[in-house]
Amino acid sequence: MTSKTVLHAKHLEAGAKMVDFHGWEMPINYGSQIEEHNAVRNDAGMFDVSHMTIVDIQGEQAQAFLRKLVANDVAKLTVPGKALYTGMLNEQGGVIDDLIIYYFSETFYRLVVNSATREKDLAHLAKVSSDFAVTVTERPEYAMIAVQGPNARAKTAKVLNADQQAAVEGMKPFFGVQAGDLFIATTGYTGEDGYEIVVPNEQAADLWQQLLDAGVAPAGLGARDTLRLEAGMNLYGLDMDESVSPLAANMAWTIAWEPEDRDFIGRDVLVKQRAEKSTHKQVGLILEEKGVLRSGSKVIVDGGEGVITSGTFSPTLGYSVALARVPRSTGDTAQVEMRKKLVNVKVVKSGFVRNGKSII
């Protein structure tokens, strides 16, 4: 039994090819994944991300709970609406999920977690929160639309009322604001400017249609994957999971080591891994000849081997790129096992494209 988002009918109307995505029937593309990718890089595209799970944390100990739950420190959040990206870890320092936390006040935060991990996330939240004076409330009454691309803000402005436009005017990246019925955030998963908009279910189809009429192109999960990979953003389940340390997944920047007495779950293991440099690291790979790097392929480096965690053809660059988990000794080049032969690849930092331009 697959779930459907409230935008399901709009996808079919737009000619979407639907696939089962972890129990949700979602659009993989509306004809051409590459054209949708390019629409986001050059203009504006929108994704239905209603399958993602929104959870509100409220109560006297909301801040204390989150300071225990996640590797980053929500005490850094002091301006209402400010968002933070981080991971919630298990006791072994593995990533249970990655998430965005929006700060409204020290007694009210909003979490957006992945859909594929919904059940275990909710179970984990319930378990950890039982020691704190907080309520954990899933918000299934909301749908979510991500509008992304250099023209995303301008095109979205056409469908907002004057108050909403004023509310988002000049909003910096990684902020969110409640504007009328919409919660509008300057977050995303593409490496482009734009919004993620949380909208009440019953208004979602109308908003989708208005955005469509404003010239925003529908984009499917296929384009979402190539866009996030070009931007060097992790996909949970591929680039990291419960067996992978955030230190091996380019998530060190999402860990707040200070103050030292903040005892977040997984801290002890991470402190040791960090001191001993015992984990692999994440790098980017570039294949300049023909062919496409694919997840699961073996990566051979000086003195060891690693694995491609996700790989794709980069429509923006015109060749294949990948994220890989490799030994810390890895240098500037590596070899990848592809279709039974070894090919040479360049090793770079994770992240290949930002705001439409190559950053290699």
Nearest CB to other proteins, comparing residues 164 and 226: 226
Give the residue with the Cβ less far from other proteins, 277 or 341: 341
Residues that bind other proteins (CB under 8 A): 17, 28-29, 32-34, 222, 226, 290-292, 294, 312-313, 339
Least distance in angstroms from the C-beta of 338 to other proteins: 9
User: Residue 16 in contact with residue 218, Cβ under 8 Å?
Assistant: yes
The sheet with strand 142-148 has its strands ordered as 176-179, 182-185, 194-200, 142-148, 45-48, 217-218
DSSP 239-264: TB-TTS-GGGTT-GGG----STT---
Q: What is the smallest separation between the CB atom of 10 and other proteins, expressed in angstroms?
A: 21
* 17 Cβ contact partners less than 8 Å away, ≥ 6 residues apart: 27, 28, 29, 30, 220
Question: Least distance from C-beta 315 to other proteins, angstroms?
Answer: 8
Q: Of the two residues 127 and 339, which places its CB atom closer to other proteins in the complex?
A: 339
What does each C-alpha distance from 210 to 201, 203, 223 come to in angstroms? 15, 11, 21
24 Cβ partners below 8 Å, 6+ apart?
A: 2, 3, 4, 5, 51, 115
Least Cβ distance, residue 356 to other proteins (angstroms): 19
Of 33 and 330, which CB lies nearer to other proteins in the complex structure? 33
Whole-number minimum distance, CB 115 to other proteins, in Å? 21
CB of 33 to other proteins, least distance (A): 5
C-alpha span between 357 and 203 (Å, rounded): 35
Number of C-beta neighbours around residue 313 at 10 A: 18
- What is the closest distance, in whole angstroms, from the C-beta atom of residue 144 to other proteins in the complex? 24
Q: Which is nearer to other proteins, 33 or 164 (CB)?
A: 33
The three-point CA angle 120-125-128 to 5° equals 120
